[in-house]
Amino acid sequence: MKTRIALIAHDKKKDDMIALAAEYKDFLATCTLTATGTTGGRLINELGLTVDRKHSGPFGGDLQIGSMLVEGGIDCVIFLRDPMTPQPHEPDINALVRACDVHNTPCATNVSSAHLVLSQLQLRAATA
């Protein structure tokens, strides 16, 4: 079964997401990817990845991904958050991170933790 990964990045973290995804592009191409609107569009247009795009975060994309997670459709969340900029949809963000905690789903919220999670998933896939 393919690993199902959600990719989300706040505006000031989108370049970091593209750089991260470029580093793991070959692995991510073997996964089922879901992303919020603009992040997904950039992953498709800049890296050629196949991505199921949801709405932008402020328009419910975080909630859509949270719903998928609760239903068992997401194995891992990479959510590059911008802790220095207030987000108008902060309750949705908190709900998604809480859903990860409740359902024991890995959730990386910065580049360092994303590297740890993706490298482990990549290693697991290579030895499967």
Give the strands of the sheet with 4-9, arranged side by side.
51-53, 32-35, 4-9, 76-80, 107-108
Active-site residue flag, 62 = yes
From 11, 15, 62, 101, active-site residue = 62
Kindly calculate the radius of gyration of the chain based on its CA atoms and give it in whole angstroms.
13
Asked if residues 52 and 31 have their Cβ atoms less than 8 Å apart, the reply is: no
Does residue 75 come out as left (phi exceeding 0), alpha (psi in the -120 to 50 range) or beta? alpha
Give the residue numbers marked as catalytic.
Answer: 62
